[in-house]
A and B are shown apart, each in its own frame.
Chain A
Amino acid sequence: MDTPKKPVPIVNPWARPFWDAAKEKRLVIQRCKDCDRYIFYPRIACPNCFSDNMEWVEASGKGTIYSFTVVQNNAPSAFIGEMPYVVAIIKLEEGVQMLSNVVECDPDNLHCDMPVEVTFERLTDDFTLPKFRPVTISSKR
């Protein structure tokens, strides 16, 4: 069976700055200038105060694993070759959550609330995905 190509994000136009930044290995999220909340995923209006007055800001790239799983069987077709892979919900320092993969890790040693930092993986010429890796002593610098 031919393995289908990995799905690329179906991008909403107003989220384009996020994906453009990811290509440059930068993690950007929105911030509402009226209520000061960070916003992810990108919206057309602040989901807290409904303001249109939002800006793009650089995120710290630091966060924790809110929850995770190691996919070992029954993955979607395009991901069968990736198994085992880690799917995790990352809680960024800015307070927003995003789904990603935890990479460069021993899946057996992951735990909830573990500190992680962003890293970037090229998917295609057009897309680079933000992924996360455990924060090690050396990477703390």
Chain B
Amino acid sequence: MSKLKGKVAIVGIGEVPTGRFPETAAIYHAIESAKQAIRDAGINKDEIDFCMPTASLFSPQFNTELVTCRVVEELGLKNCKKNCQVFSGGSSSSCGLQMAGSLITSGVAQTVLFVHSDRLGTGVTAQGGIDLFSTAGISAEWEVPFGQHYSSIAALSTTRYKYETGCTDEQLASVCVSNRKWAEINPNAFFRKPLTIEEVMASKMLSTPLRAKMSNMLFDGGSAFVLASAERARDLPNTPVYILGESGVVSHFVFSQEPDVSRFGWAKSAKAAFGEANLTPRDMDVAEIYDSYPVYQMIGFEELGFCERGEAGEIFMRGDTWPGGRIPCTTDGGMLSKGHIGAGGAVSLLVEAARQLMGKAGERQVKDARFAVETATGGTYMDAQVTVLGTEIP
């Protein structure tokens, strides 16, 4: 159990729309998101004493700018003591939050700005994106020579998950529909037109049984949050969003080394995180489950304990996870409908969890949301990070 429970809180959030913005500089997504987060926190910008940009994948040159203090200079953060990148691929949200929280509870930092930005929609070509994600995080010795890439990885999980649970392709498609329901009412989402199971099933087959509309697409975007001590948070305008529990399991680097590609380490990680929070899945008002492909959202949903293994398909199909449903899930539309922006897929989800708990989610607002869980995973689903957040400390 960590010492973070109830000691630190997200006090401000910012986000730019996800989409294709060829005219905009990549840095805009970072500094606009950060500006919003600082203003939302109701603090003076010069209170930020630690800037934590996570990595951008589209260009090593741009990422070097993030590493070499560009955000600090662009925003004029006069009292910033350190600018240091924290990056664990898609799980950077959880890892960043926990690193930032540790800096605050240890006294190294007072107010941390965490920011993500990337330009995968216009900074790389469509085939360039496929090629980038057929090498990034995939073993150059043991998998790349066999034509492995992210669609085939997701398909390998999906095939095994279907084999073990009897899940149908229509049930997989229903996850896409659920996420789209949320994206329809998210102004920052890219895909906002209603989607049906039939449309998903009619889309091009990529890697069996994974179809094009079961796959995320890469876009430009960014989001940010400000973290402060719980004490400081109580003096600020937003409802503080406390870290209540967190845990993680690192399971593999090479995807084919994972002994259970339809479960991973979620159950162990969730048990520890919920245990620390002294809460159960039943207590959650919102479940921000990392998607990227439908099977991973189903696996996360089940392994966290929102239902038994093999039941997620029926639950997503029934609409229990939709706006107004019993278990609102991935309420920003996720990478499947809001759009995949690299490491920021889960940063968006974390920001959305905080937004829901602050009561600022507009049309998507889950009524009286007090507790939320956010999950994240990086690389080829190499880790299972679970964070429980809330407006009260149980």
The answer to the question of A72 belonging to the interface, with a C-beta cut-off of 8 Å to chain B, is yes
Residue numbers in A under 8 Å from B151 (CB-CB): 71, 74
**Is residue B130 contacting chain A, with contact meaning CB distance below 8 A?**
yes
Digitize A60-96: 1 where CB-to-B-CB distance is under 8 Å, 0 elsewhere.
Answer: 0000001111111111111100100101110000000
CB pair A41–B142 under 8 Å, yes or no, is yes
* Neighbouring A residues of B156 by C-beta, 8 Å: 67-69, 87-89
Q: How far is the CA of A74 from the CA of B254 in the complex (A)?
A: 21
Interface size on B, residues (CB 8 A): 40
Identify which of residues 142-169 in chain B touch chain A, using a CB-to-CB cut-off of 8 Å.
142-149, 151-152, 155-160, 163
Q: Are B205 and A10 in contact (CB under 8 A)?
A: no
Chain A 2-25: CB-based contact to B (< 8 A → 1; otherwise 0): 000011111110010000000000
Given A69-B210, A112-B159, the answer on whether A129 and B146 have CB atoms closer than 8 Å is: yes
**B371 part of interface (Cβ distance < 8 Å):** no
A73 to B135 Cα, complex, angstroms: 17
Assembled-state Cα–Cα distance A107/B15 (Å): 44
Segment of B70-78, B82-90, B190-198, B255-263 in the binding face:
B255-263
How far apart sit A57 and B263, CA to CA, in the bound complex (Å)? Answer: 31
Quick check: is A100 within 8 A (CB to CB) of the other chain? yes
Question: Would you call A41 and B163 a contact (CB within 8 A)?
Answer: no
- Using CB atoms, name the residue of chain B closest to A88: B156
With A9-B141, A15-B141, A70-B208 given, is the CB distance from A87 to B146 under 8 Å? Answer: yes
- Interface core residue of A41, A69, A97, A123 (most chain B CB under 10 Å): A69
Chain A 100-116 against B: per-residue CB contact (8 Å), 1 yes, 0 no?
Answer: 11000001000111000
**B207 engages A69 (CB within 8 Å):** yes
Q: Chain A residues near B108 (CB, 8 Å)?
A: none
Of B145, B159, B212, B261, which is within 8 A of A7 by CB? Answer: B145
**Does B140 touch A at the CB level, under 8 Å?**
yes
Residues of B within 8 A of A (CB): 127, 130-131, 134-135, 139-149, 151-152, 155-160, 163, 204-210, 212, 215, 254-257, 259, 261
User: Hey, which bits of chain A sit against chain B, CB under 8 A?
Assistant: 6-12, 15, 41, 66-79, 82, 85, 87-89, 97-101, 107, 111-113, 123, 127, 129
Listed by A's residue number, 8 A-B pairs whose Cβ atoms lie within 8 Å are: A15-B141, A73-B205, A74-B206, A77-B127, A87-B155, A89-B255, A99-B146, A99-B148
